[in-house]
Amino acid sequence: MISRMKKYLTIEDTIGATPLVRLQRIPGGVGEPRGNVILAKLEGNNPAGSVKDRAASSMIRHAEERGDIRPGDTLIEATSGNTGIALAMMAAVRGYKMILIMPDNLSVERRASMTAYGAQLILTPASQGGMEYARDLATRMQAEGKGKVLDQFANADNPRAHFESTGPELWQQTDGRISHFVSAMGTTGTIMGVAAYLRSRNPAVRIVGAQPAEGAQIPGIRKWPEAYQPAIYQPAEVDEFESIGQAEAEGMARRLAAEEGIFGGISSAGALVAAMRVAARVENATIVFIVCDRGDRYLSTGVFN
């Protein structure tokens, strides 16, 4: 009986092992003519729809292993969206109560997805300071004994997810040829974990971080003020920074869908803008960028109209 049950995967088992696909049209002159290949890592293929499934699974599993939390406990997290959806899924899978705190200007699809997984939402006024305010409130609630904060911004199990899974996948999928890794930066978990793994295999790999330009609003990523920089962030791990404008990211998101058939989010397209700039500077490179989530998470914003 047990062996028959074990034969089948759980939903959690399907996290990771995402496809890596080659762009065919967008690279144009900076692609094949220069010997460059640009590859998209499709993290929207994860079960709850984003790269954050890896971090959520890693933070909950490792906290359980250490005895910090156990099923039935209440977890609290301040999240700009994807982490909330991933944690809500993981809480449902493993039997936790989940309270998610987010600014009230984030897309309705995100909120509805969290509620579908059974999480309780607390919306904070975006006018009061957005994510910084949400993060402070989560800390206060933990101090009041209302639950345990995993804190994706300071939790080593967030980058660890990418050191243990995303990085090794990219190394294998490119047969060790990856020369440039490009990621948008939010908590920086993805870029920190992947950078550490790839460098352990090839110290010459270049790590490129995409950040929103001054005034650009790109969901999920930030150029953090000094006082709120994620504790997991080590600036020395990033070799090059690219500033991405909102209009160019949104335009690229439409092109990615219409010209490549890859329906990704805005920050993913921002990473591609950065990857294209890299491709214009280098030759014979294997450039990978992260498609963190799927475009349907942004339909209500009108970006794809």
Does position 189 interact with ligand PLP (CB under 6 A)? The reply is: yes
Q: Would you list the DSSP string of 28-73?
A: GGGSGGGT-EEEEEEGGGSTTSBTHHHHHHHHHHHHHHHTS--TT-
- The whole-angstrom separation of Cα 148 and Cα 74 is 6
Determine if 103 is a binding residue for ligand PLP (CB under 6 A). no
Residue 82 beta carbon to ligand PLP: minimum distance, rounded to whole angstroms? 3
Q: Which stretch binds ligand PLP (CB under 6 A): 5-13, 29-37, 74-82, 126-134?
A: 74-82
Cα gap 278→239, rounded to integer Å: 12
Q: What is the DSSP letter of 264?
A: B
Catalytic annotation on 58? no
Q: How far apart are CA 123 and CA 106, in angstroms?
A: 9
Determine which residue in the list 58, 80, 165, 286 makes contact with ligand PLP, applying CB under 6 A. 80
| 10 annotated among ligand-binding-site residues | no
- Does residue 220 touch ligand PLP according to CB under 6 A? yes
Q: Exposure string (b/e) for 155-183, b if CB count within 10 Å is 16 or more?
A: bebbbbbbbbbbbbbbbebbeeebbbbbb
Distance (Å, whole) CA 204 – CA 201: 9
Verify binding: residue 58, ligand PLP, rule CB under 6 A. Answer: no
179 tagged catalytic:
no
Among 18, 46, 57, 83, which residue sits at the site for ligand PLP (rule: CB under 6 A)?
A: 83
**CB of 260 or CB of 293, closer to ligand PLP:** 293
**Is 184 one of the binding residues for ligand PLP (CB under 6 A)?**
yes
Per-residue binding letters, 259-278, with ligand PLP (x by CB under 6 A): ------x-x-----------
286 among annotated binding-site residues: no
Asked whether the beta carbons of 57 and 93 are under 8 A apart, the reply is: no
Report the distance separating Cα 208 and Cα 275, nearest Å: 8
Residue 82 marked in a binding site: yes
Judged by the rule CB under 6 A, the positions of this chain that interact with ligand PLP are 52, 80-83, 184-191, 219-221, 265, 267, 292-293
The annotated binding site for pyridoxal 5'-phosphate is made up of: 82, 186-190, 267
